[in-house]
Structure 1
Amino acid sequence: MNRLLLSVLAIALCFAVVQGLQCYECLGFYNLCVTLTTTCSSGQSCFQGRGQAAGFVDIIQRGCLANANCNQLSNVTFQGATLYKMNKTCCATDLCNAAPATHISALSAIAVVTAWLTTSML
């Protein structure tokens, strides 16, 4: 009986470890963000990033990030040019990178990102 109980416990523990860290994932402007959940790979943590493009457009990002890149200020580039800097802060519990209160549709988010990228390349 003890062997059976230990076997079941060992199998359950394996499934729990394999499942991975759950995080919110989004990229948006101000507090408007299309939020999904994602599972991080081994060696990653949840992160919440904040930056400011063109001196006034607040950019937010959430998702999974390699542990080596956690809690750092990094350059966000497009075609070799730095668009803005983003401060990325990590945490390591399920859904710890709190989702924003405001949500927009994926189509609206794509339209905003496309318009922003188009104007930034001019």
Structure 2
Amino acid sequence: MNCLVVLVAGLILSASPGSSLKCYSCLGSTERCVTDTINCSARERCVLVVAEAAYVKVYGAGCVRPADCSVRPNITGASVSVSCCDTDLCNASDQVKLSLLLFPALVSVWFAIFM
């Protein structure tokens, strides 16, 4: 009986809590999407879409399949950017964010070239 309890406890402790990604969510907002959140499925990424026309920015945020991250909408008279990321609440801004793993690689390249 004790062996069964230890086995069940080990299985529970070793199980992953799930890989649900939490992203900001909004549709057609003139403000940055930083209030409402949504839980994405395990195969989705966070997305931020920013459309600008006549000096007005419209934001959209949520979850998409990775294949949809490469879609570049072509809207006449507007510039549209699509940014995807894969960490919790990473779609808060339309500014480019460097990955913590990418930064050391860039520093290494810089030193290799300039030092």
Superposed pair shares fold, TM > 0.5: yes
Deviations 1:55-99 (A, max 9, x none): 3321111111111011442146xxxxx684521111101111126
Aligned to 1:50: 50
For normalisation by structure 2, the TM-score amounts to: 0.60
Aligned to 1:59: 58
Aligned pair in 2 of structure 1 residues 97, 43: CA closer, same or farther (>3 Å)?
same
For normalisation by structure 1, the TM-score amounts to: 0.57
4+ residue runs over 6 A deviation? none
Kindly tell me the number of residue pairs found equivalent between the two proteins. 89
Aligned pair in 2 of structure 1 residues 87, 32: CA closer, same or farther (>3 Å)?
closer
In the alignment, is residue 96 of structure 1 matched against residue 90 of structure 2? Answer: yes
Aligned pair in 2 of structure 1 residues 5, 83: CA closer, same or farther (>3 Å)?
farther
Q: Which runs of 5+ in 2 are unaligned?
A: 95-115
Q: How much identity, in percent, do the aligned residues show?
A: 34
Distance in 2, Cα, partners of 1:35 & 1:99: 12
In the alignment, is residue 87 of structure 1 matched against residue 91 of structure 2? Answer: no
1:49–1:87 CA contact under 8 A, matched in 2: yes
1:6-85 correspondence runs (5 A): 6-10=10-14, 12-13=15-16, 16-17=17-18, 20-27=20-27, 28-29=29-30, 31=31, 33=33, 35-53=35-53, 55-75=54-74, 84-85=78-79
